[in-house]
């Protein structure tokens, strides 16, 4: 004996019927449920918007100069084709205007000199004309701290043009060979 579900009208067995008494009923029921789930999945996938975001990282030994851009080598996330490390591993252009949340985190091995990480937004490579945000700076010539962590976050209003990029600058008072790791990322928060 069979009956139907009240909303979707899916036929299923009732009472004392065993599944093996009418296996085609259970197979049809399972397929009907799957068909309904597919309809829900399709409608959800067209209504969910992917938020533009990116994150890149790097780790290794580098020779730091007084004002270097960090050379990233790994893409952690990229939902809007922001990152193309084969053409530019230093700076990235955001794809759309709006309010963006940007962040970085970096750690450096023991150093005995001044180190500063700065999230830079502007016209690269002319850093002198760039706008800098969110600087973390420590003078290791006096603190001699091992493995310090630098971090910066902030929101910005972004108007894309052909000259504006995002990059992470590391500056030192003395060129030096150091090991460091860094992550730079951001995500779009909304329209202007």
SS3 131: strand
| Per-residue pLDDT, 54 | 94
How many independent structural domains does the chain possess? 2
Residues 70 and 30 reside in one and the same domain: no
Residues 97 and 172 reside in one and the same domain: yes
Per the CB < 8 A criterion, the answer to whether 151 and 118 are in contact is: no
Residues 92 and 138 reside in one and the same domain: yes
Residues 153 and 172 reside in one and the same domain: yes
Residues 82 and 162 reside in one and the same domain: yes
| Per-residue pLDDT, 28 | 84
Backbone angles phi and psi of 71, in degrees to 5: -90, 100
pTM of the entire predicted model: 0.64
Residue showing tokens 């790791």: 181
CATH of the domain at 65: 2.60.120.40
Domain boundaries, position 127: 53-190
User: What's the average pLDDT block by block, 10 residues per block, for the chain (192 residues)?
Assistant: 82 75 80 87 71 91 73 93 92 86 78 63 46 46 56 74 74 69 89 80
């Amino acid at each position: 004996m069979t009956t139907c579900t009240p909303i979707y009208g899916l036929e299923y067995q009732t009472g004392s019927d065993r599944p093996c008494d009418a296996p085609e009923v259970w197979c049809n029921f399972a397929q009907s449920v799957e068909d309904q789930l597919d309809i829900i999945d399709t409608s959800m996938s067209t209504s969910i918007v992917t938020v533009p975001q990116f994150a890149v990282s790097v780790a290794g030994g580098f020779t730091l100069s007084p004002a270097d851009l960090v050379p990233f080598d790994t893409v952690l996330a990229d939902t809007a084709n922001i990152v193309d490390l084969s053409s530019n591993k230093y700076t990235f252009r955001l794809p759309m205007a709006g309010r963006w949340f940007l962040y970085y985190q970096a750690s450096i091995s023991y150093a005995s000199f001044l180190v500063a990480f700065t999230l830079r937004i502007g016209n690269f490579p002319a850093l002198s004309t760039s706008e800098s945000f969110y600087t973390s700076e420590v003078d290791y010539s006096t603190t001699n701290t091992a493995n310090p962590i630098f971090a910066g976050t902030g929101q910005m209003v972004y108007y894309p043009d052909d000259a504006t990029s995002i990059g992470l600058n590391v500056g030192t008072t003395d060129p030096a060979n150091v090991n460091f790791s860094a992550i730079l990322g951001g995500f779009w928060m909304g329209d202007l």
